[in-house]
Amino acid sequence: MSETVIVTGALGGAGSWVVDELRHEYEVVAVDLSIPARTDIDGVDFRAVDLTEQGPTWETIVDADPTAVVHFGNIPHEEDNAGGDVYENNVLSTYHTLEAAGRAGADVVWASSETVYGTHWDEPELPDYFPVDVDHPVRPWNGYETSKLAGEAAAERVVNRFGVSVASVRPSWIQYPGRYRITQIREEFDFESAGRFGNYWSYVDIRDVVSLVAAALDADFEGHEVFNAFAADNFLGVDSVAAIEAGFGDLPPDCDLDGDESAFSTEHASDLLGWAPEHSWRTAEDESVEGPAFV
């Protein structure tokens, strides 16, 4: 009999791709605020739950007796929401979900964010060093980023209290094959007029996010671990050091980037999970790939 995995945010952009992949290996309980019009998806049981409500969240997760919980059920930005509302929603939903997972004895993989490094500052700053790894100091700017750090603190609490493992994944700007939103930015980039870009022109393909989630579920590690999820290259197709220096007018003293290498390191995910990104904008921008059928 297949193991059960709960995926929250199951109808969202990233969560739906996670559900669509994991259903081939697990029995998936797909949780979101509503149930999709189409529910006849093999291996998926859809549930409508407001994760900010403790009772329904605990009941759904504990009763399902899952092996693991994959939590993507957060508001993903502040573009059309007040910062305080984003913070409150994300902190409550993450705390309740992780707490219920701990009580069910389920390991957790959940979506934190690259923005904890300070990528959303109005006037982005250079990091202490390149490439930025998971040990780099965090510099939250808005309510969304702060909610993600609160979630990572909740992960520490759940590990300490219940002895489960938690993987906090910090994805870069997620792109979807055939509809990359970075294309226009790259086409308009010019060294002479380059400005500061908060994440140093980094991105990640959704399929690499999904494969990292799967790798974290398969891995045998203890405690709370943080993993960067980034493509191996920048999305400009130019030398990373040259682009950063053009945009920021300077470089940190410690800068070890080669060619169009990403400004963020995924070495920890490689070392602990055996994971590496496989997709690049060079082919993925124009790829025709069917997404999940239920959204």
Cβ-Cβ contacts under 8 Å for 221 (sequence gap 6 or more)? 165, 167, 272
Cβ-Cβ contacts under 8 Å for 190 (sequence gap 6 or more)? none
Per-residue pLDDT of the chain (295 residues; tens, 9 = 90+): 589 999 999 999 999 999 999 999 999 999 999 999 999 999 999 999 999 999 999 999 999 999 999 999 999 888 888 999 999 999 999 999 999 999 999 999 999 999 999 998 989 999 999 999 999 999 999 999 999 999 999 999 999 999 999 999 999 999 999 999 999 999 999 999 999 999 999 999 999 999 999 999 999 999 999 999 999 999 999 999 999 999 999 999 999 999 999 999 999 999 999 999 999 999 999 999 999 999 9
For domain 4-121+133-177+203-232+266-279, give the CATH number. Answer: 3.40.50.720
The pLDDT assigned to 1 comes to: 56
Domain coordinates of the chain in residue numbers?
A: 4-121+133-177+203-232+266-279
Secondary structure string (H, E, C) spanning the chain: CCCEEEEECCCCHHHHHHHHHHCCCCEEEEEECCCCCCCCCCCEEEEECCCCCHHHHHHHHHHHCCCEEEECCCCCCCCCCCHHHHHHHHHHHHHHHHHHHHHCCCEEEEECCHHHHCCCCCCCCCCCEECECCCCCCCCCCHHHHHHHHHHHHHHHHHHHHCCCEEEEEECCEECCCCCCCHHHHHHCCCCCCCCCCCCCCCEEHHHHHHHHHHHHHCCCCCEEEEEECCCECCCCCCHHHHHHHHHCCCCCEECCCCCECCECCHHHHHHHCCCCCCCHHHHCCCCCCCCCCC
The pLDDT assigned to 97 comes to: 98
Assess contact for 215 and 207: CB atoms under 8 A: no
